[in-house]
Each structure stands twice: as C-alpha cells, then as structure tokens.
Structure 1
Amino acid sequence: MPLRAKVASSVSRTAAALSRAAGRGDGSVIGGWIGLKIDPELLTHLAAGRSVALISGTNGKTTTTKLTVAALESAGRVATNAFGANMPTGHTSALAKAGSTPYAVLEVDEHYLARVLEETRPRVVALLNLSRDQLDRAKEVAMMAQMWRTALAAHPGVQIVANADDPMVTWAALGSPSVTWFSAGQRWHDDSWVCPECGGAIQRAGGDWRCTTCPLRRPRPHWVVEEDGVVDPTGAWHQVKLQLPGTVNIGNAATALAVAAQFGVRPADAVMRLSTVTSVAGRYAQVERDGRLIRLLLAKNPASWLEAFDMAEAAPTLLSINARDPDGLDTSWLFDVDFAPLYGRRVLITGDRAYDLAVRLQVNGIPFEHVTSFPDALAAVPPGRLEVIANYTAFQDIRAELDRVN
C-alpha cells in the first residue's frame, strides 16, 4: 500500500483498540472513520489483493455473512465485519484490523452497495431480499431495486448470487451477465406484488411467481432448500445441521454455500462448518438467569418480525420496541406486522415505544402486560423459557442489561 494508506490503516487499528479499551464500543466504526479521514481511498487499498464477497439485502445480512465466513474458512483466513458495522467505515475498520488475508466477506447496507462495489471490486455479490425498512429514511423498495440494477450493470465481471424467490432481487440481478440463482423462499410478499419492470401484477402459485403482463418470471434456481438440506447445482443434496433456529436460516445457509462455491469450496466441505455458528452478534443467543432460559431475537421490520415469530417457541414472550436513530423514528410499520402468531402466549411489552406496540396488539386482539424494564419482565415470569424479540437499540439495551447481571 502507499505510505499514506499504511499510516491510515495503523491509526485506524489504534483508534479501534482504544475505543474497545475505554469501553466505548467495539471500535468497528470509529477506526474506519478516522482511517478514511486520513486516506479517503483506504478501503480500496485494503481490499486490493483479496478475493472479496459482498452480502447485501434488507434482512439476514449479518447471519448470512457469518455463515459464509464459516464456509469459506475451509479455504483460508477470512476478514469480515463481524459486529455488523455494514457501511464503508465498518468495512475499512474490519479490513485494517484483519491484516493480510486471502479472502474478505463483508456485510453491506443495501444503500451503500453501489459505493462498496466500486471501492472493493468484489469477486462475488450476494443479494438476499428487498423489503420495506425504516420508513422515515429508507428508499422505497422499487427505487432500491433500481439502484442495485444500475450498480451491478456497471460491474459486468462480478459474479452475482441472487434470490430467485424475490421479484425485486431478480429484476435487479437480471442486468448482470453472470448470475447464480438460489431459492431461499420468501414468506413476506407485501413489497413485491407489482412488477418492477412493467408495473403489472405479480402472480404467485406455490413457490413460483411471474408477471401477468410482461416476460419477467422466477428464474430456475441452481441452489434449492429442500426439507432440512440444500440441493446444489449438480443435484446432490446436503443435509444442513445448524445451531441457529428457524427455517429462514436454512435459506441463509444455502446462500452461504452458493457464495463459497464461487471461491472453489465444495459444498460437502463447507456444510460441515456451518454448524459451528451458534450466535450472530448476540442474535439467537441463549442466556440463563435465575432459572430462566432467555433467547434473544432481533426483528427490525415487518419481514423480520414474521421470521422471528417462526423461530420463537410457544413460551412467555417479551416484545421491546424503541424508535431511536438506528431503529428509524417512524413506528407506523408495526401495523404492517401480523401479531396473530402470538395468540395463546403470555405476552409482555417494554421499550421506549411500548405504548405504540400496545395499541397495535390491542387492534390485533392480543392480551399483553406492560413492564417498565427488562428486570421487571424477568421478575414477572416463572422459571423456564423466555423468548425476547426486540428491534435494534432495544435489543442492545437488553444485551447490556444481561452483561451487567453477568
């Protein structure tokens, strides 16, 4: 690297380490921010010489990135933004910290995909899904699909791994000459009823979909989730044994296998490593406190709440909602979530915007109890399992509370 980049990289690592030592965070943002101030091209310099994969989408980025890293590590050391800092500052900090590695797998915020594509020149880009998110500041879904399509068309040499079950992702990826399709399912349909190509209606039948007025339709996938395993492009079935809950994570595993295959990793070798992933930045973690087995699930938008309900067991369930800057300030999206899966469970609510959640549950006809804090929730439920579903900052608040207790 040029001398300026070397200095910037060293200062980035030092700043991140000081942040961690001072208890001000993991340093995954501040280190990159300072490094880029010294050398605005630092991310490009750090990515040079590595085979890079980018993972982007509205939901599942962090988990799929972690699974992809596990799969790819059979081929060599992998740099990654393990703490979920998925903008260029986080990517810069992660690569600076990792030092020299043959591979890098980076989770990328969907808004930043075009920029990170340009700066890292990846070998592979995985596109998971597109749905509504943070209504007060996120782009409308079709606009995001158009941004992706334009960005990918400008990089025809990149191998795309894309979700054939999502019409928005499919349309965005079709501008690229080289696409590997995977089928991970799409439980949330409410953002893809209208064809992004012509404005016609999307018609679904089973797992298939097509536009009723133009040729756009679901591509034939090369990788397919089948029962508790994944079928690869040769037709071989590989059983996937995960320690992560929910059928959605089988789909994330299929994506990880498809990405790793682009680097020459055989599915039979990669699939064994996926079971080593037990928690993802605290998500899915299980903690025992005072006879209660607490599981933490992150849900940030309607699509992810739908998946969280699928993962949660029929046990007392605590829901926590905040509306701070990282969450998005608009909580009207709660009315896009169907809370019917909670019928019959004991439901507790908390968080800065618990009253917004209370109104939504009342509309759904679901009884609930309001508690003012996480310790109050623990005191209110008997020993046994407690499922916790929370959005970004509420999730972090509860993790911090558990750390204090520990």
Structure 2
Amino acid sequence: MSGKLTARAKFATVLLRGAAALSRATGRGDGSVIGGRVGLVVEPQLLNLLAEGRGVALVSGTNGKTTTTRFATAAMEAAGAVATNSFGANMPTGHTTALAKQMGAELAALEVDEHYLGQLLEATSPKVVALLNLSRDQLDRAMEVTSLAAKWREIIENQIQETVVVANADDPLIVWAAQPAQRVVWVAGGQNWTADSSICPVCGKHLDRFGEFWRCPSCGFTRPNPTWTVADQGSAVMAPDGSRVEIDLRLPGKINRANAAMALAVAAQFGVSPHQAAPRLTTVESVAGRYATVERDGRRLRLLLAKNPAGWLENFDMVRDGLPVVLALNAREVDGFDTSWIYDVDFSSLRGRHVIVIGDRRTDLAVRLQIDGVTFHVVDDISAAIESVPAGDAEVVANYTAFQDIRKEFNRVN
C-alpha cells in the first residue's frame, strides 16, 4: 500500500505511527485515536488513500460490532492479511490508524460507530457492510433509534451501489434500513431485545411476532427469508447452499453465535467458504478484554461488558448458574450521563443470587434492583467486591467506563 501513497500521505503516516507509539509508551492508551488525529491533520484524505485498493468490510450496529469484527477478521484471514481496529477505536481516527499500522494487508475489517457509517462508506468504498442491530443507546447524546434507521436507509439508498449488505433479518429496523440496497444477504441473527422494534417502521402499526418471525398486519412489511441461519441452539450455522457448518466458539451466549453467523456471511463475500472459516472462529477467546478472566485472592472473575438495555439482557443470558454476580454502573461522558435506561432492563433473573453492586452510580442501580426484588450488597469498588464473594468463580457485568476501571485495576492491556 505504501508505494501508492503521495509523499504527504507517507509523511502523515510516519507522524501517525510516532504519535501512537508515544501514547502507548506513556501509558495513555493504545494510540489509535491520537495517531489518527495527527495523521488526518497532516493529510485530511489519509483514510481514503489508505483504504484505496483494499477489500474492506465494515461492521456496524448498536451491539456486537466489536466481537463480530473480531470474528470476521479471523475468518477473512483465510484469504490473506487483514487490517482491523482490534481495540474498538471505531471512528475515522481509529480506522486511519488501523490501516496505517497494517500497510501490507490487502483486506480490512473495520468496526464502525453507527453515526459514522456514511462517512466510512464514502472514504473506504467497502466490498461488504454488515448491519447487526439497532437499539437505544445513550439517548442523552445519541440519535433515537428510528431516526438512526432512517439515516441508514438514506445512506444505503444514496451511497451504496456495488457494496454487498449483510443484514440481520430478525431486526425490523435493520431490514427497513437495508431494503434499498441492490444486493442484500439476510442472516437469521436473532433478536432477544425487541422493545425498540415493536412498531412497523413503514406505517407505524404494531408488528405481530411469532418467535423470530415478524410481520406488520397493516402494510405487509415482513421478515425476509434468511440465507444464513443459526441452527441447533447455536451449535451450527446453515449456509446458503444448505450445508451445515459446525461452530465451536470460545465466547459465551446466544448473541455471539449470531455474531459468528454474521462473520461467516461477511467472509463468504471475500471467497472464504464457511467450512474453511468456521474453525478460525475458535481462536477468538477474548475481545478487548471482554469475556477475559482475571484472578485475585483465590477469586476468578469473568468480565462481561454491557453498555445499554439490550447488552445487559444478552449478558444475563451468559451469566453462569449459581455464581456470585458483581454489577458495575458508571455514568461518565462516554457512558452517557442519563441512567434512566436501567429501568428498561429486567433484573429479575438475578433473584436468589449473591449480587454485589459497585460503580459511580451504584445507588441508582441499587434502587432498580430493589424494585425487581433482587437482594444485593453495595460496596465501594472492585477490591471490596472481591472480598465480598467466596473463593472460586464469579461474574462481573459492567458498563463501559466501569469495565475499563476494572481492567485497569488488574493492569490488563488486551
């Protein structure tokens, strides 16, 4: 790739790498954001130039985009080296750094923040765009989901021509947004959280649901027939040719089996057969610290990230029976300051469990648990939480900055 860059772009890339390296050396982060920022100041078209000539896959959605991108990267590596923003820096600065760090990779799998999808489509001319789901997230500073779906639909209608859209057939908002695309590959990815897609985006009437199938009784808007389907409670994926593809994941939960199906469908657009790709998914054991296990004083804590109502619901599906559960809630800028969304989460599955509550907004969470009849103990921080649970395994479910606080406590980098 470097041979195609202008002298200015090459200089910008050198400065980008230097800034990123300095950030890592001084312990300020992995350098993806500051590196990209420096590079784009020197050459505003750097992202476009670095993406030129590569086979690019973009992955976007409210939940699961980091994991799906990691799965897609592993699968696509069967076709060659893949550049990716593996630490989750999912805005243009992070994308620029990812491509600059991996100049020789002819392929790229990039996680994209939902609000930057149009900009990345224009900058990278991707071969594939994967659309996972849309649910409410940080409404104090983010767009309401139906408005975001309308924005995506407009982007797809006006900006996508040759790009293949791989879309979740079980989410009505995603189906509506993806409809204008000339080429859509539908995946039965599942949708546990349906509170944000109960209304038909076409006519505004209530949708009828029968399991995963949904239909509007008023205008006829309905779930398309998927060509990729999760089968046998997640032990396999049915491919478009009818073949059964066994999957053996190291990541827990129904949502990750759906993410794996999306990744297989993405990789297939690059000529990677699902039977070739599936074994590679087994290599993914932790995603930016998510699902990692940390140990202290005879306790083994598995870390789960939950940023919004849909994410908390999916994580409760992963929590192992009988284990203590630590819940951590902050409300800092990147989390969103409004915690009222916790009243959309059903915590009743935690009744009868040993529950510990920590975080900046632990009292907010305590009130919510009390309403749902969950017995709990409030403590100051993760160290106190560790002391409060018996030796052995425990689960930790935390929102974004609370999750990062816990990772820093254990001095984890990946």
Give the equivalent residue in structure 2 for 1:73.
77
Give the equivalent residue in structure 1 for 2:106.
102
Q: Are residue 313 (structure 1) and residue 326 (structure 2) matched?
A: no
Task: After TM superposition, give the deviation of residue 318 of structure 1 in Å.
Answer: 0.3
For residues 215 and 138 of structure 1, the distance between their equivalents in structure 2, rounded to whole angstroms, comes to 30
For residues 359 and 87 of structure 2, the distance between their equivalents in structure 1, rounded to whole angstroms, comes to 23
The SS at the match of 1:162 is strand
Q: Are residue 17 (structure 1) and residue 25 (structure 2) matched?
A: no
Q: Are residue 268 (structure 1) and residue 275 (structure 2) matched?
A: yes
Of 281, 288, 298 in structure 2, the residue corresponding to residue 281 of structure 1 is 288
Of 390, 395, 403 in structure 1, the residue corresponding to residue 403 of structure 2 is 395
Task: After TM superposition, give the deviation of residue 381 of structure 1 in Å.
Answer: 0.9
For residues 328 and 90 of structure 1, the distance between their equivalents in structure 2, rounded to whole angstroms, comes to 21
Deviates more, 1:191-200 or 1:295-304: 191-200
For residues 175 and 52 of structure 1, the distance between their equivalents in structure 2, rounded to whole angstroms, comes to 21
Any residues of structure 2 matched to 1:331-370 within 5 Å, and which? 331-370=339-378
Of 215, 235, 245 in structure 1, the residue corresponding to residue 220 of structure 2 is 215
**Where in structure 1 do 4 or more consecutive aligned residues deviate above 4 Å?**
none
For residues 165 and 70 of structure 1, the distance between their equivalents in structure 2, rounded to whole angstroms, comes to 25
Give the equivalent residue in structure 2 for 1:190.
195
Give the equivalent residue in structure 2 for 1:299.
306
Of 180, 201, 206 in structure 2, the residue corresponding to residue 201 of structure 1 is 206
Give the equivalent residue in structure 2 for 1:3.
7
Alignment root-mean-square deviation, CA: 0.8
Q: Are residue 252 (structure 1) and residue 259 (structure 2) matched?
A: yes
Letter in 2 for 1:118: E
Give the equivalent residue in structure 1 for 2:247.
240
Letter in 1 for 2:274: P
Of 43, 49, 58 in structure 1, the residue corresponding to residue 47 of structure 2 is 43
For residues 261 and 274 of structure 1, the distance between their equivalents in structure 2, rounded to whole angstroms, comes to 14
For residues 149 and 100 of structure 1, the distance between their equivalents in structure 2, rounded to whole angstroms, comes to 34
Letter in 2 for 1:343: R
Give the equivalent residue in structure 1 for 2:134.
130
For residues 191 and 61 of structure 1, the distance between their equivalents in structure 2, rounded to whole angstroms, comes to 18
Task: After TM superposition, give the deviation of residue 59 of structure 1 in Å.
Answer: 0.1
For residues 256 and 19 of structure 1, the distance between their equivalents in structure 2, rounded to whole angstroms, comes to 31
Give the equivalent residue in structure 1 for 2:182.
177
Letter in 1 for 2:259: N
Of 62, 75, 100 in structure 1, the residue corresponding to residue 66 of structure 2 is 62
Q: Are residue 327 (structure 1) and residue 335 (structure 2) matched?
A: yes
Letter in 1 for 2:125: R
For residues 206 and 278 of structure 1, the distance between their equivalents in structure 2, rounded to whole angstroms, comes to 30
For residues 204 and 292 of structure 2, the distance between their equivalents in structure 1, rounded to whole angstroms, comes to 42
For residues 302 and 40 of structure 1, the distance between their equivalents in structure 2, rounded to whole angstroms, comes to 37
For residues 54 and 162 of structure 2, the distance between their equivalents in structure 1, rounded to whole angstroms, comes to 16
The SS at the match of 2:198 is coil
Q: Give the gaps of 5 or more residues in structure 1.
A: none
Task: After TM superposition, give the deviation of residue 215 of structure 1 in Å.
Answer: 2.5
Q: Give the gaps of 5 or more residues in structure 2.
A: none
Q: Are residue 290 (structure 1) and residue 297 (structure 2) matched?
A: yes
Task: After TM superposition, give the deviation of residue 98 of structure 1 in Å.
Answer: 1.1
Q: Deviations over 1:156-207 (max 9, x none)?
A: 2110000000000000000101000000100000000111111121110121
Give the equivalent residue in structure 2 for 1:161.
166
Task: After TM superposition, give the deviation of residue 367 of structure 1 in Å.
Answer: 0.9
TM-score by length of 2: 0.97
Identity %: 59
Letter in 1 for 2:294: V
Q: Deviations over 1:339-384 (max 9, x none)?
A: 0110111000000000110111111111110010111111111101
For residues 153 and 77 of structure 1, the distance between their equivalents in structure 2, rounded to whole angstroms, comes to 31
For residues 305 and 80 of structure 2, the distance between their equivalents in structure 1, rounded to whole angstroms, comes to 30
Letter in 1 for 2:162: G
The SS at the match of 2:337 is coil
Task: After TM superposition, give the deviation of residue 288 of structure 1 in Å.
Answer: 2.3
For residues 355 and 150 of structure 1, the distance between their equivalents in structure 2, rounded to whole angstroms, comes to 41
TM-score by length of 1: 0.98
Give the equivalent residue in structure 2 for 1:28.
32
Task: After TM superposition, give the deviation of residue 39 of structure 1 in Å.
Answer: 1.1
For residues 97 and 16 of structure 2, the distance between their equivalents in structure 1, rounded to whole angstroms, comes to 6
The SS at the match of 1:326 is coil
For residues 370 and 82 of structure 2, the distance between their equivalents in structure 1, rounded to whole angstroms, comes to 47
- Counting matched residue pairs gives 404
Task: After TM superposition, give the deviation of residue 338 of structure 1 in Å.
Answer: 0.3
For residues 244 and 157 of structure 1, the distance between their equivalents in structure 2, rounded to whole angstroms, comes to 33
Task: After TM superposition, give the deviation of residue 235 of structure 1 in Å.
Answer: 0.6
Q: Deviations over 1:115-162 (max 9, x none)?
A: 111111100000000000001011111111011111111212110000
The SS at the match of 1:327 is coil
